[in-house]
Amino acid sequence: MNKSKRPYKQYSLHRGDCLSFLKTLTSNSIDSIVTDPPGGLSFMGIDWDSDRGGRDRWIKWLTKRLTEAYRVLKPGGHLVMWTYPRTSHWTRMALDDSGLVFVHNLIHVFGTGKSHGKIVKSTDSPEFNGFSTTLKTSYEEWVLVRKPSEGTVERNLKKWKVGALNVDACAVEGAPGQPSRFPGTLVHDGSVEALQIFPDAPGQLARLRGDGAPMMNHVYGKMNHGTVAKPPRVDTDPSSARFFYCTKASRSDKNGGLPDGETNCHPTVKSIALMRWLCRLVTPPGGTVLDMFMGSGSTGVAAMLEGFRFLGCELSAEYYATAKKRITHAWASCMRLTRPSAFVTLKSSH
């Protein structure tokens, strides 16, 4: 745990509209933002997830908040934002309009999704029975963007301590005797459906070819590979093991840190393991993570378990109360140098 002096306590939680809250923060003061905003879907008929009158109004609503997020992020700082596939283009437009620069799409593939479409059951047109208006959702998207750096990456890192991704801390653990793997843009939940995406095949086993320099490949003639002959890299892991394994939030994951008998009523709780990985990817050691749409506090719990400072804002009084209990529990457990058994840890899939 970082023991250096802090401008405020380890975590600070606020209830209200995040636009007002963001305006109270100092410019260039936040290391990273990891957040899960409304999707504009009216999911389960919930008011806070409405489209606010249509695409243009929703994009304008989110752009105002992201413009403030841009201001408070340090130069080179990253923002990771969940987005639902059906309205992800709305989110991207708001991110782009705020000035943030696209870096990656991060895809979380899972086998537990549901179809929210209408199944046709008609006596008038029985030939269409069994048709549906949608498919089962099998993935979620997280958009990774960055505030432009000041000068070179090295200069920005030296001044602001942000501007690059902490890939070493997020590497995928290799099989025994194998090195860790560079993290990719894909996460899966280990389900049969997800694993079937990956071929059950090892990596490169053949010797690399070296048949000359590639400098003349722009003219007609033989295509030279330009490699030096080396012994083959023995790589016997199944291909799914090359990506992070992370299930969707379990019941114990959702309710971890709450008093006995109390349940988390938030409808879209995210996995603590996934949030830890995302926070670690975009935040320097001892840095400050902001979640402007805190919900029931999964990002805050993750930040506590990773040793980061955390700022959170939530509009709903009910979700705010749940978040406060979960984050307080996580921080207290860290101070006791123990990790709550209710919270899962991230692991790779062998």
Domains in the chain: boundaries: 11-115+130-197+240-348, 203-236
Which tens digit of pLDDT belongs to each residue from 63-119?
999 999 999 999 999 999 998 887 889 999 999 999 999 999 998 887 766 666 677
What pLDDT score does 131 carry? 87
Which tens digit of pLDDT belongs to each residue from 232-276?
444 445 554 555 545 566 777 777 777 777 887 766 778 888 999
Structure tokens at 178: 């194998």
Kind of pairing between the strands at 186-188 and 309-314: unpaired
Tell me how crowded residue 115 is: count the other CB atoms within 10 A of its CB.
Answer: 12
The CA distances from residue 274 to 82, 147, 258, 296, 303, in Å, are 12, 23, 20, 15, 11
Helix residue ranges, H only, 33-83: 55-72
Structure tokens at 153: 């990456």
Which tens digit of pLDDT belongs to each residue from 191-231?
656 566 665 545 444 444 445 554 444 444 445 545 444 44
What is d(CA 92, CA 249) in angstroms, rounded to the nearest whole number? 25
What is d(CA 100, CA 96) in angstroms, rounded to the nearest whole number? 6
pLDDT average, residue stretch 278-288: 96
Architecture in CATH of 11-115+130-197+240-348: 3-Layer(aba) Sandwich (3.40)
Question: pLDDT at residue 35 above 80?
Answer: yes
What pLDDT score does 152 carry? 96
Exposure pattern of 23-53 as b/e (b: 16+ CB <10 Å)?
eebeeeebbbbbbbbbbbeeeeeeeebebbe
Global pTM?
0.76
